[in-house]
Amino acid sequence: MKKLLLSIALVSFCFSANAQFGASVGYGSGKATVEVDGFDDVTGDASGAFSIGLFYDAELSDNFDLLPSIAFGIGEKVEDESNNSLAIGLGLQYYPTGKDGNFFIQPGVGLGFSLADEVEGLSSSIFSGSIGLGIDLSDNFTLIASYGTSLSDPSDVEGISISSNSFGAALLYKF
């Protein structure tokens, strides 16, 4: 899956004549749920992260843009330990009324990597999916609100599974 995401991103970089690079800032808040066989589910408190990133907006048609991105997340400390991350994403912006309407729906997938110290029994990466709504405020600024969920289980321990859900908002600036 990692190779597929990278391949799609590289193809979009190479073949898009009408594209723009940009930078983004965002904030997200998420919760994790731990399920243990034979016990009630446990949902943790919400934790947040600020992010800064780079993206490439490749126009595919008047209704579709492909948006590969990379972002660095600065998360809340957990037990005085860093909780930062690196994320690679790929979104498909669909403008139902064309670009003149400025409004779009953005489904996407992402691969996140924890930069914190490894924890035994947990993978340091997670695959996720998201759906977002956005609006182009101008030719240069875009605002996106999204909901994401984990598509993979980072737990390596049999009988224990972990899932997560998040909400986020981002402001994008196209150069």
pLDDT tens digits, one per residue of 2-61? 666 666 656 555 555 567 899 999 999 988 888 888 787 788 788 889 999 999 999 999
- CB-based contact 42:32 (threshold 8 Å): no
Burial 114-152 (b: 16+ CB within 10 A, else e): beeeeeeebbeebbbebebebebeeeeebebebebebeb
pLDDT at 155: 83
Q: Give the CATH number of the domain where residue 17 resides.
A: 2.40.160.20
At residue 161, the 3 state secondary structure works out as strand
Q: Which domain holds residue 34?
A: 2-174
Q: How many whole angstroms from its chain centre is CA 96?
A: 22
Task: Please give the residue that has the higher pLDDT: either 79 or 60.
Answer: 60
**Number of domain units in the chain:** 1
Task: Please give the residue that has the higher pLDDT: either 4 or 121.
Answer: 121
